Structure 1
Amino acid sequence: MRIRLCLAALSLVGGAGLATLSTSTATAATCSDIDVVAARGTFEPGTLGFIVGDPVYSALQKKLPGKNLSSYRVNYPADLSLTSAAQGNADLVNHVRSQEAACPNQHFILVGYSQGANVVDNSIGISSDGAVVGSPIVATLPAALEPRVLAVLLFGNPIRALGKSVTGTYQSRTIDFCAKGDPVCESGGGDVLAHLGYTADADAAAGFAADKV
């Protein structure tokens, strides 16, 4: 019930945010130094995501002034349908593989919030099946691409409520924020509003990523 309330609250934020947000639109990346690939949360408005993606991208631009950054908004429904996260998983992997072929010197920072964290988890080989708005893995980034993923930035990650986390190859390059009481990522959490407060972690996430560049 708490998680449903949290998703409903995010839906209300989405309805309010769409009317006021005026950030620049995200486009498929050209051959920038670093492509920031962001998967937004369920019903989250904004270009890359009003709560996480947009503020993280802005913070990264400030932390990495000598780098040419581009952004990509993962193309998926970000709704409560059973295949939503799987569609995002497939699109993220397809985008990064396409960029790898077109831009041999490009690197990537992956950003995922809420359901978007499930999308990123799946894409790096950590299944979100069984988590809130999760899905089985349908595609993973090839091993040859792993060195080009500089950082993985996760917020309100639903697999954490299952006692799971990112392990293996990407573990040292991953920072995973779970606010105290957030029912989406903390088992038994009861603070619905905690899931909507991750904008406050944007600067810390960008700093972590900048240290990996």
Structure 2
Amino acid sequence: MRSFTAILSLALAATSVIAAPVDERATCSDVYVYFARGTTEVGTLGTVVGPGLKRDITVALLGRSVKFEGIDYPANLVGYLAGGDAGGARTMANSVTATAAACPNAKIVISGYSQGAQVTHLAARQLPAAIQNRINAVVTFGDPYEDTALPGVLQSRRKTFCNFGDLICQGLSVILAPHLTYGTDTPAAAAFVKSKV
């Protein structure tokens, strides 16, 4: 009877070890990038900047695990004219906050193109100083808020790409050719991110 009880105890102990939840920190990536696409772009990464930025950051950080996530938000004209989609900004801020809590050693990057840059600015303003300190780099492209400082330490961790002749960067709602060529800046953006993480 004692041997049966001992075997049963061992079996129960083994089951509890197997069923124990996995420590989230063990599954964390080294670097998290949250990116918001521009107005009317498809998917969550868009086509002008997102895919190239994902590729170039992944290559630049070869040897480190990178999770690149597009922010799911409407990216419509109404949001752009409002100064950036508030829901998208909340989603980005919440994603950063959750990652900062779950993955204390992870490096975090936030980025956006056009309206996505607006969303990035709005998200940054929603974060308390302790979470802002966890963000290693902020990269914006075709940024309508080019001349607006980011809060706290984030301004010193910022890189903005604004082409000569891009009226969006001047706060005007006119899209000209210079606004559509930021895909060529993704290698430089990736190099900047590498220098910060």
User: TM class by shorter-chain length?
Assistant: 0.7 to 0.9
Say if 2:124 and 2:151, in contact at 8 Å, map to a contact too.
no
3-state DSSP of counterpart to 2:100? helix
The residue type paired with residue 28 of structure 2 is C
Paired position in structure 1 for 2:108: 108
Does the CA-based 8 Å contact 2:45-2:70 persist in structure 1? yes
State the AA in 2 paired with 1:41: G
Q: In the superposition, relative to structure 1, how do residues 191 and 180 fare at CA in structure 2: closer, same or farther (>3 Å)?
A: farther
Pick the aligned partner of 1:198 from 182, 191, 194. 182
Matched positions, count: 168
Runs ≥4 residues deviating over 3 A: 165-168, 187-191
RMSD: 2.1
- Structure 2 equivalent of residue 181 of structure 1: 165
Alignment match, 2:3: none
State which drifts further: 39-48 or 203-212: 39-48
Query: Distance between the aligned counterparts of 2:42 and 2:172, measured in 1?
Result: 27
More helix by share: 2
Summarize the alignment of residues 37-76 of structure 1 with structure 2, pairs less than 5 Å apart.
Answer: 37-76=34-73
Counterpart of 2:71, as a letter, is: V
* Pair member with larger Rg: 2
TM-score after normalising by structure 1: 0.72
TM-score with structure 2 length normalisation?
0.78
User: Of residues 118, 127, 130 in structure 2, which corresponds to 1:144?
Assistant: 130
1:183 positional shift:
1.1
Q: Counterpart of 1:90?
A: 90
Q: For residue 170 of structure 2, give the secondary structure of its aligned residue in structure 1.
A: coil
State the alpha-carbon separation in 2 of the partners of residues 90 and 189 from structure 1: 24
Label 1:191 to 1:41 Cα distance change in 2 as closer, same or farther (>3 A).
Answer: closer
Unaligned residue ranges in structure 1 (runs of 5+): 1-29, 126-139
In the alignment, which residue of structure 2 is the partner of 1:153? 139
Say if 1:95 and 1:191 are closer, same or farther in 2 by CA, change over 3 A: closer
Contact 1:181 1:189 in 2 (8 A): no
